[in-house]
């Protein structure tokens, strides 16, 4: 049996396809760079990162976008030998009434790329997708955002536009085909055709504990669409006992053996706070068809904690990253921009100084998803600067307003490097160690964070063997969508950061990074 979620940590809005026996899932990446994570598997149990298609500025420019903006709900599809990726680059979203949501399409013959220059389609709404008819006719689907309305009504329905199969430019008027149900906030549309029916899958209820996936069908592409007898395919709104919560927003595909699979968004609260520091994750459930309608195989709306796929998941092991390896490049991301870094001859990672922790322009970090409730991350950093405004260290973050940085910097009062904690709590800044910063001998120190579900501690060592715990408790639950104000959409990341607010010329050398999964 395969345990859900199959993609742990920040993996929201899954778009799943199956091509020649290989499963691919595309997930949102929001303000992180490169954009859109595509994972692949042959057994639904073991997944590897296949590509980050939006890996150059021509395809993705995120400088200046606010927190939880950027890449929303990509759609991956495949037709006639070509992969198609539809994506939205959200420039602004958090304050009514407007959302700036340009939608694009890029294509590639191979999942690894190269991916074509982006083709702009429209900016009427987000969560765009592509439907391919058997004859090659193509249709672009997205939600309509109506700024004139109030509250949930701004999610005004699902729009359909025919596009040219070669140029991918719109060639028809846009038609609204579905307005959703009384659950409200209709979004995340995908269209599938089976046995003469067009099936419209949409997410509803908002991406929190009211979330659901709604299904409707029609004999005609443009409708009218009748709603599923149960209305929703999946929802845990009335199942507080389920390990998987916030279930909804997903996509289906058929396996070579004829079975059907549904990849869906879910969240797992760390404790009674109902906060999910791992963010929105990806689960999978088998679906069956009854009287022309899809149902979860268990014939409820509550997904299975485990399912019978095609393999067994390999046990998690400690990861000692080699900064020159493909695994490092696939696991670690930058924030909004390509990280400014170099790999030295001895394999050391050099990070150059970027903007402050609150900038939306040029922060410089390399971070990876927190994929386990309990984990340990350790790095070794060297900093030769003799100015307090150049700093580097171990960052544990959600966004600009909720983050921890255990940083090494020069202290002119003591004449040596010291360790301190910088903490942002819903935008409120503090330095918990105050005047009691920890003196360091020399320029090099090992930094560690150990998290056990909700709480954790930083520690440090000068020899890499004997670590001293810093007496300040870290609250991992504050690094969550649920704690962010307004609601966020990402998840916790841990990694390496370098800041230079003096002249931008500073740098720090990181000699190692180890991620050790704990016992969840």
Torsion of CA 58, 64, 65, 71, to 10 degrees: 20
Phi/psi of residue 218, nearest 5 degrees: -155, 150
User: Taking the alpha carbons of 408, 444, 387, 365 in that order, is the dihedral positive or negative?
Assistant: negative
Q: Is 20 a catalytic residue?
A: no
Cα-to-chain-centroid distance, residue 268: 15
Q: Is 48 a catalytic residue?
A: no
Do 248 and 204 form a contact (C-beta atoms < 8 A)? Answer: yes
d(CA 48, CA 134): 30
3-state secondary structure of 473: strand
User: Taking the alpha carbons of 401, 406, 407, 413 in that order, is the dihedral positive or negative?
Assistant: positive
The two beta strands, 70-79 and 37-41, are unpaired
Which residues are paired to 103 by β-bridges?
88, 122
Strands (E), 96-182: 103-108, 119-122, 129-132, 138-145, 155-163, 175-178
Torsion of CA 244, 245, 246, 250, to 10 degrees: 20
Q: How far is residue 483 from each of residues 360, 398, 403, measured CA to CA in Å?
A: 20, 10, 12
406-442 exposure pattern, b = at least 16 Cβ within 10 A, e = fewer: bbbbbeeeeeebbbbbbbbeeeeeeeebeeebbebee
3-state secondary structure of 421: strand
Query: Which residue has 């991916």 as its token pair?
Result: 115
Of 13, 31, 304, 500, the active-site residue reads 13
HEC secondary structure over 327-360? HHHHHEEEECCCCCEEECCCCCEEEECECCCCCC
Of 127, 187, 331, 355, the active-site residue reads 187
Point out the residues that are catalytic. Answer: 13, 187
């Amino acid at each position: 049996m395969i345990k859900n979620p199959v993609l742990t940590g920040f993996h929201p809005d899954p778009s799943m396809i199956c091509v020649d026996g290989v499963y691919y899932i595309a997930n949102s990446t929001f303000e992180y760079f490169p954009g859109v994570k595509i994972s692949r598997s042959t057994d639904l149990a073991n997944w590897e990162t296949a590509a980050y298609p939006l890996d150059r500025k021509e395809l993705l420019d995120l400088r200046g976008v606010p927190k939880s903006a950027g890449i929303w709900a990509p759609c991956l599809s495949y037709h006639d030998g070509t992969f198609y990726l539809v994506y939205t680059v959200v420039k602004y979203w958090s304050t009514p009434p407007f959302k700036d949501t340009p939608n694009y399409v890029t294509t590639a013959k191979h999942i690894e790329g190269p991916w074509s220059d982006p083709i702009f389609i429209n900016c009427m709404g987000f969560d765009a997708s592509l439907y391919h008819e058997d004859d090659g006719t193509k249709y672009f689907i997205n939600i309509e955002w109506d700024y004139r309305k109030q509250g949930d009504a701004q999610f005004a329905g699902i729009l359909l536009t025919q596009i040219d199969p070669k140029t991918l430019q719109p060639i028809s008027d846009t038609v609204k085909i579905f307005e959703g149900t009384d659950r409200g906030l209709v979004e995340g549309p995908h269209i599938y055709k089976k046995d003469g029916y067009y099936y419209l899958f949409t997410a509803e209820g908002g991406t929190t504990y009211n979330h659901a996936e709604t299904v409707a069908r029609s004999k005609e592409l443009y409708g009218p669409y009748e709603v599923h007898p149960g209305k929703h395919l999946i929802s845990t709104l009335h199942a507080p006992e389920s390990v998987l919560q916030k279930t909804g927003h997903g996509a289906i595909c058929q396996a070579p053996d004829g079975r059907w699979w549904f990849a869906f968004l879910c969240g797992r609260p760390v404790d009674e706070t109902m906060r999910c520091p791992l963010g929105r994750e990806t689960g999978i459930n088998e679906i069956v068809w009854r009287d022309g309608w899809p149902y979860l195989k268990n014939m409820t709306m509550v997904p299975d904690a485990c399912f019978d796929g095609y393999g067994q998941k390999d046990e998690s092991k400690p990861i000692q990253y080699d900064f020159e390896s493909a695994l490092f490049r696939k696991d670690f991301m930058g924030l909004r921009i390509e990280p400014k870094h170099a790999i030295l001859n001895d394999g050391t990672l050099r990070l150059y100084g970027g903007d402050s922790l609150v900038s939306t322009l040029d922060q410089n970090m390399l971070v990876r998803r927190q994929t386990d409730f309990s984990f340990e991350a350790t790095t070794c950093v060297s900093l030769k600067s003799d100015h307090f405004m150049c700093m580097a260290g171990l960052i544990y973050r959600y966004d600009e307003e909720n983050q921890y940085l255990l940083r090494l910097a020069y202290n002119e009062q003591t004449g040596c490097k010291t360790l301190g904690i910088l903490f942002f709590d819903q935008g409120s800044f503090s330095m918990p160690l105050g005047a009691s910063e920890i003196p360091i001998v020399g320029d090099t120190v090992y930094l560690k964070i150990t998290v056990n579900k909700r709480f954790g501690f930083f520690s440090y060592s000068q020899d890499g063997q004997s670590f001293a715990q810093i007496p300040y408790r870290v609250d991992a639950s504050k690094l969550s969508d649920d704690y962010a104000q307004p609601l966020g959409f990402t998840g916790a990341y841990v990694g390496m950061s370098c800041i230079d607010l003096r002249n931008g010329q500073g740098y720090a050398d990181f000699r190692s990074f180890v991620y050790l999964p704990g016992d969840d």
